[in-house]
């Protein structure tokens, strides 16, 4: 199930989720401008390369996915659900609107 969640919901859920994985699906260049701490980076624009990397991920975990604005991470959620991942969350507004902790 893919769910669009706000920043507040994201932080609340992630704080009590011991199976949480933060997934950044932006490009290398975007990541270089800053990112949310403790994330795993897989660039969705790599197409099949992205799908190959996603296939190696643990399906028992819960994935909190973000991109720049929320569009690509929404696509990533749908793709991952089709691949058998049960719990994916898409950060509404993406990194562009994130005011939580970041690494520059």
State the Rg of the chain over Cα. 12
CB 55 within 8 A of CB 80: no
Q: What backbone torsions phi and psi does residue 23 show, to the nearest 5 degrees? A: -120, 120
Is position 67 annotated as part of the catalytic site? yes
Tokens 């696509």, residue located: 75
Choose, from 67, 76, 80, 91, the residue flagged as catalytic. 67
Neighbours of 39 (CB within 10 A): 18
CA distances (Å), origin 89, targets 23, 32, 67: 10, 23, 12
Cite the active site residues: 67
């Amino acid at each position: 199930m893919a769910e669009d969640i706000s920043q507040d919901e994201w932080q609340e859920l992630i704080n009590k989720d011991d199976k949480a994985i933060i997934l950044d699906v932006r490009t290398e260049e975007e990541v270089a401008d800053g990112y949310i701490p403790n994330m795993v980076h897989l660039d969705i624009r790599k197409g099949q390369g992205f799908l190959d990397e996603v296939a190696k991920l643990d399906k028992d975990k819960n994935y909190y996915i973000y991109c720049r604005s929320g569009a690509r991470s929404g696509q990533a959620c749908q793709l991952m659900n089709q691949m058998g991942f049960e719990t994916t969350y898409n950060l509404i507004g993406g990194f562009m609107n994130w005011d939580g902790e970041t690494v520059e």
